[in-house]
Chains A and B, each alone.
Chain A
Amino acid sequence: MAEERRFRSASGAPIALRRRQHSASCRELAVRGPRLQLRSLSAATSAVWLAAYGLFALSENSMVLSAAIFITLIGLIIYLHFVKIDQESLLVIGSLGIQVTSSYASGKESTTFIEMGQVKDVVINEAIHMQKVIYYLCILLQDPEDPQGVSEVVPLFQSSKPRLDCLIEVYKSCQEILEQRKTAPQSS
């Protein structure tokens, strides 16, 4: 059972939230950001090449042009592999844990798994970020010594930065699963 809804990110870009329910205690929520636009790619390439041509006109050194081509190619590869995140997904399995996956535009996927014993709660927090106050979803990790304390905060959806309406949907889905572990008796 999958459904997809459109939302906006904090900066106004269109994002899509896809919710899949695999079973009664397992849900997957994926936020997909906009793909790399051809017009921004051509704008960046033209800007770099125009600047290189201007330098070549000033310095009469043709190495500048080949250097500009190299820089554009290598910069594009680095951007797609290390910077541009296409999709961030959250897989919540009720008795097992939470898995956070980021998929980059080059196909690379980076995954983090947090077991359910360490998870205290999944909350929507608001904080100051770069001269703005944003809402962001985060996982609170339990402090082993102090049952009321929080040892660590893991922010989620850092690159797509959904707005509050999308975050509330994700929050409600997560809370439905997290509530089950209170009512179900702990076996371990």
Chain B
Amino acid sequence: NSPAPLPERAIYGFALFLGSWFGFILYLIWAYVPETWLFSLGLTYWPQKYWAVALPVYLLVAVGIGYILLFGINMMSTAPLNSTHTITDNYAKKQQQKKFQEEAIPALRDIPISEVNRMFFLPEK
């Protein structure tokens, strides 16, 4: 699954490039060409031209609301000050205590908050 260029990916890329150009030119024709000209060509079943302006506006307002929504979701997911999630979690509760070996680096583990506090705030005499 490497991101290296492959012949198939080049073909997909070119097809997408052509498709997006085609879609853009179609959108411009639909938005700008008067309805009578399109009717005279026999193409009558188009959406209302109102949507040529409405859809981009909807999209931009959604992007703007998305910023505020993301900020709000972050604030809601933050644990309140009285929850135990600020101190521990499922992984820390289930961790196994490895035996202490001489002259070896101690295994990585979650240190309980009481121990951390004692080390930081109580001066060792």
A128 to B74, CA, bound (A): 11
Interface pick from B24-32, B43-51, B76-84: B76-84
> Does B109 touch A at the CB level, under 8 Å?
no
- From residue B110, how far is it (CB to closest CB) to chain A in Å? 12
A153 and B121: CB pair below 8 A?
no
B82: chain A residues at CB < 8 Å are 138, 152-155
> Does A66 touch B at the CB level, under 8 Å?
no
Interface pick from A50-58, A83-91, A118-126: A118-126
Residue interface mask B49-76, A partner, CB < 8 A = 1: 0000000000000000000000000000
Residue interface mask A105-132, B partner, CB < 8 A = 1: 0000000000000001101110111000
- From residue B21, how far is it (CB to closest CB) to chain A in Å? 44
B11: chain A residues at CB < 8 Å are none
A61 to B24, CA, bound (A): 58
Q: How many residues of B contact A (CB 8 A)?
A: 17
A154 to B80, CA, bound (A): 11
Q: SS class of chain A's interface: helix, strand, loop or mixed? A: strand
B79 and A124: CB pair below 8 A?
no
Residue of B nearest to A154 (CB): B82
CB<8 Å pairs between A and B, sample of 29: A121-B113, A121-B114, A121-B117, A123-B114, A124-B117, A124-B121, A125-B86, A125-B113, A127-B81, A128-B78, A129-B81, A138-B81, A140-B113, A149-B88, A149-B93, A150-B84, A150-B88, A152-B82, A152-B84, A153-B81, A153-B84, A153-B86, A155-B81, A155-B82, A168-B121, A171-B117, A171-B121, A172-B121, A172-B122
